[in-house]
Homo-oligomer: A and B are copies of this chain.
């Protein structure tokens, strides 16, 4: 297990009002550059155009050395004088303007809030700028990649999901939060966890145990697992949202804490791990800020049915879709080149059934937190 260290030289971790401003000024400048270029083209008698990097699978590259998914160089033009793109051009400008307003007001908004902010009926017509949020979210992602700024830097938040307890004190907007004293509820993870909002203070923890579900998290918290094993305990209520992933990455990079995952033994659990580790295709442009290449998968493993001596009743038959997904995941480049993962996915397929973390309850209510995870940790028995 890596040594704890509070990386004192990480300036990003220091709460200075200067750093807030610096980040925002940089984003502002990017928006103004975008706008000025359009004005310049217009005044010069040329057609206004925005260049949008392409967020497709074909423009996603697996960077083996870094161990993350990255976006390639392909871009698409979005000209104003084209019936196919004129509306999107207008929508891009509207959202850029909203973001400028948000930054100036030093406020943040949700995806839905940004959608509403720009939604209005164009004067003298019955045409809306946006009809549904489905049109709005991709335009925001376009802006993220076009500006090279994370959604968080655009002052836009996603859902709040997930909780944290454990041997760490953090500072959230100036409030010191002792995660060792958060009772049964825990600290609710916010969506924006950038260093100007959240700073790490005192941390004795030697690793982070990340579990899939809140109900499993409750079991570990009730058994004071984080206290007995000197760690931090998190969950992301299923596929962890960006705030949770980014916080895990910061704990990993800045405090050098290993991230150890306890997820279901099914393709969905494997996919959650894959996203935590390598990033996802749709957010490939953000992998450097979200992916954790050395994240570990402790379980549940296909071998556990036999190793833990579980009852037949915990088996849940794989569906056709599960089998299809398992094969797709096995073909991901980072799993394809990994003997351990090929073996793991094959074992799932040859088992013919999946298992949830909760299936360990059939042994004993605290088997997972007091026997299974501690034993695997001691043996360093995990996949990575």
**A contact residues vs B (CB 8 Å cutoff):** 101-102, 105, 107-113, 115-117, 119-121, 128-130, 157, 159-161, 163, 171-177, 181-192, 197-198, 214-215, 217-219, 222-223, 311-314, 356, 358-359, 361-362, 365-366
Of the candidates B181, B222, B312, the one whose C-beta lies within 8 Å of that of A176 is B181
Beyond A116-B356, A173-B183, A185-B188, 18 additional contacts (C-beta under 8 Å) are: A101-B365, A102-B365, A105-B366, A108-B222, A109-B361, A116-B314, A117-B365, A119-B313, A119-B314, A120-B313, A172-B182, A172-B183, A172-B184, A173-B184, A176-B181, A177-B181, A183-B198, A186-B190
Given A218-B160, A365-B109: A192 touches B184 (CB 8 Å cut-off): yes
5 tightest A-B contacts by CB?
A: A172-B183, A110-B215, A188-B188, A175-B181, A185-B190
Max chain B CB contacts within 10 Å: which of A121, A182, A365?
Answer: A365
Q: Are A116 and B187 in contact (CB under 8 A)?
A: no
What is the CA–CA distance of A222 and B110 in the complex, to the nearest angstrom?
Answer: 12
Q: Are A361 and B175 in contact (CB under 8 A)?
A: no
Given A358-B116, A366-B107: A182 touches B175 (CB 8 Å cut-off): yes
Given A183-B190, A189-B185, A311-B120: A214 touches B361 (CB 8 Å cut-off): no
Using Cβ atoms and an 8 Å threshold, which residues of chain B touch A174? 183
Using Cβ atoms and an 8 Å threshold, which residues of chain B touch A101? 365
Name A's interface SS.
mixed
Kindly provide the distance from the CB of A186 to the nearest chain B CB, expressed in whole angstroms: 5
- Chain B residue at minimal CB-CB distance from A115: B358
Q: Are A113 and B190 in contact (CB under 8 A)?
A: no
What is the CA–CA distance of A261 and B289 in the complex, to the nearest angstrom?
Answer: 37
Q: Are A219 and B109 in contact (CB under 8 A)?
A: yes
Kindly provide the distance from the CB of A232 to the nearest chain B CB, expressed in whole angstroms: 14
Q: Are A187 and B190 in contact (CB under 8 A)?
A: no
Using Cβ atoms and an 8 Å threshold, which residues of chain B touch A219? 109-110, 113
Of the candidates B109, B115, B163, B356, the one whose C-beta lies within 8 Å of that of A160 is B163
Q: Are A358 and B110 in contact (CB under 8 A)?
A: yes
Kindly provide the distance from the CB of A311 to the nearest chain B CB, expressed in whole angstroms: 5
Kindly provide the distance from the CB of A166 to the nearest chain B CB, expressed in whole angstroms: 13
Using Cβ atoms and an 8 Å threshold, which residues of chain B touch A160? 163, 185-186, 214-215, 217-218
Using Cβ atoms and an 8 Å threshold, which residues of chain B touch A177? 181-183, 185
Using Cβ atoms and an 8 Å threshold, which residues of chain B touch A192? 184
Q: Are A184 and B159 in contact (CB under 8 A)?
A: no
Max chain B CB contacts within 10 Å: which of A116, A129, A362?
Answer: A116
Q: Are A159 and B110 in contact (CB under 8 A)?
A: no
What is the CA–CA distance of A185 and B190 in the complex, to the nearest angstrom?
Answer: 4
- Chain B residue at minimal CB-CB distance from A109: B365
Q: Are A110 and B157 in contact (CB under 8 A)?
A: no
